[in-house]
Amino acid sequence: MLIKRQAEGIDLPQGSEITPRAVFESRRSFIRQMALGSIASGALLPFSQNAQAQEGGGQKLAARPNTAFVAMDKQTAYKDATSYNNFYEFGTDKADPAKHAGTLKTRPWTVAIEGEVKKPMTLDLDSLMKMAPLEERIYRLRCVEGWSMVIPWIGFSLSELIKKVEPTGNAKYVEFITLNDKKQMPGVYEPILNWPYTEGLRMDEAMHPLALLTFGMYGEVLPNQNGAPVRIVLPWKYGFKSAKSLVKIRFVKEQPKTAWSLYAPQEYGFYSNVNPAVDHPRWSQASERRIGEDGFFNRKRKTLMYNGYTEVAPLYAGMDLKKFF
């Protein structure tokens, strides 16, 4: 997230709009060669390229690939996905989470499921992970700041958990509450956000099969900087909705307050669906930079409605998406 303290231009997308002539020329020759077929297009080789995305040497986590949820884009390199992060509890620089999240103790860990449910429960991590079979799904994730990644996540649909706790008729929203512990998280000494970091979804959004309760990535358990030991991943929404290191999932009647909308309500709405037609008040959302692809030949790509996950459109039928941003 871009914090306003950093205003004065440095928080705007940098570099890629300015194209020196030499780069422009070589790009043209590159495009010509592409057209002649002498350079293979990465977009046509997702699997061979993806084999190079690699893993990190963490604890392995087995999962069955779910081919119904496979972004065909080239995967982000493991190294990039684990060294360029937003996790403000560990600092606001992109490199901070990888540097500082080593102090996060991810076991023992419990997640409390409470509120408007017939079966409230507090589960340890192993019981939570056994609620449904683990799947690998390759999702794009698009940060509100204008960059994106493509990551092979491991988890199962949040709906699997929701069905087991049996929400009551009063459950209209789900609130996600994350760990707030000064001893483990140096960033929470800074009063940037109203800790704990919280997020939320409307019930029908939470039940959408795309919403992934996530325990791993790249064949391994989640690295701490990516939200270990359990997070949510919502690929059609801006990245900040995908809350990391969850400790509580609460079913509620009213739309919950969320950390970023409390911080700047005019900038970060409750829905925060990826939408290239609705700009952030301080920058355009029409395009994005794919992390790891910002070399000479890569132009910014167009941001897609719902980040390309148009199957969620019925959830928002009839809503004014400028108003409910």
Ligand X SMILES: Nc1nc2c(c(=O)[nH]1)N[C@H]1C(S)=C(S)[C@@H](COP(=O)(O)O)O[C@H]1N2
State in angstroms the smallest separation of the CB of 26 from ligand X. Answer: 31
Residue 178 marked as a ligand binder: yes
If residue 64 lies in a helix (H) or strand (E), which one and from where to where? strand 64-70
Location of structure tokens 């194209």: 19
Total interface residues for Mo ion by CB under 5 A: 4
Q: Which is nearer to ligand X, 148 or 157 (CB)?
A: 148
Q: Which is nearer to ligand X, 236 or 240 (CB)?
A: 240
User: Is 240 one of the binding residues for Mo ion (CB under 5 A)?
Assistant: yes
Structure tokens at 51: 């084999």
Q: Is 240 helix (H, G, I), strand (E, B) or coil?
A: helix
Question: Considering CB distances under 5 to 8 angstroms, the limit depending on partner class, which of ligand X, Mo ion, none binds residue 244?
Answer: ligand X
Contact yes or no for 132/160 (Cβ under 8 A): yes
User: Is 239 one of the binding residues for Mo ion (CB under 5 A)?
Assistant: yes
User: Is 115 one of the binding residues for Mo ion (CB under 5 A)?
Assistant: no
Residues lying near ligand X in the complex (CB under 6 A):
1, 85-89, 141, 143, 149, 178, 197, 226-227, 239-240, 242-245
Residue 307 marked as a ligand binder: no
Give one DSSP letter per residue of 285-303, joined into a string. Answer: -SEEEETT--STTPPPEEP
Contact yes or no for 54/218 (Cβ under 8 A): yes
Whole-angstrom distance, CA of residue 271 vs CA of residue 241? 9
Q: Which is nearer to ligand X, 239 or 292 (CB)?
A: 239
Q: Is 61 helix (H, G, I), strand (E, B) or coil?
A: coil
State in angstroms the smallest separation of the CB of 24 from Mo ion. Answer: 30
Q: Residues 82-111 vs Mo ion: string with x where CB under 5 A?
A: ----x-------------------------
Whole-angstrom distance, CA of residue 325 vs CA of residue 269? 5
Residue 244 marked as a ligand binder: yes
